[in-house]
Amino acid sequence: MITNTELNSSTATELVRQLYGETFSATETRYPETAPRDSERGTFQEPSQYERPKLKIKQLMPRPLARFPIEGNQLLATYDQSAFTARDILPHAVVQKPYEMNQIVRDFIKKQKRQLDLNKSLNTVSTRISEFMNRQGIKAKVVIDLETDTEYDDWTEPRIKVLVEPSELERVYGLFDRLLDFSLQHVRKREMKRFRITLDVG
Q: Which of 159, 163, 175, 194 binds other proteins (CB under 8 A)?
A: 159
For the bound state, the minimum distance from the C-beta of residue 170 to other proteins, rounded and expressed in Å, comes to 5
When asked if residue 41 is in the footprint of other proteins (CB under 8 A), the reply is no
* Nearer to other proteins (CB atom), residue 38 or residue 181: 181
Q: How many residues bind other proteins (CB under 8 A)?
A: 26
When asked if residue 140 is in the footprint of other proteins (CB under 8 A), the reply is no
- Applying the rule CB under 8 A, the residues between 170 and 199 that interact with other proteins are 170, 173, 176-177, 180-181, 184, 189, 192-193, 196-199
Q: 70-102: string of b/e by CB count within 10 Å (b at 16+)?
A: eeeeebeeeeeeeeeebeeeeeeeeeeebbebe
Contact 39, 19 (CB under 8 A): no
* Nearer to other proteins (CB atom), residue 87 or residue 159: 159
Phi, psi of 65 (to 5 degrees): -90, 5
Strand order in the sheet with 156-164: 100-101, 140-148, 156-164, 196-201
* Nearer to other proteins (CB atom), residue 28 or residue 151: 151
* Interface segment toward other proteins; rule CB under 8 A; list 16-24, 94-102, 107-115, 143-151: 143-151
Positions of E strands within the chain = 37-38, 43-44, 70-71, 74-75, 84-85, 100-101, 140-148, 156-164, 196-201
Site for other proteins, rule CB under 8 A: 147, 149-152, 154-155, 159, 166, 169-170, 173, 176-177, 180-181, 184, 189, 192-193, 196-201
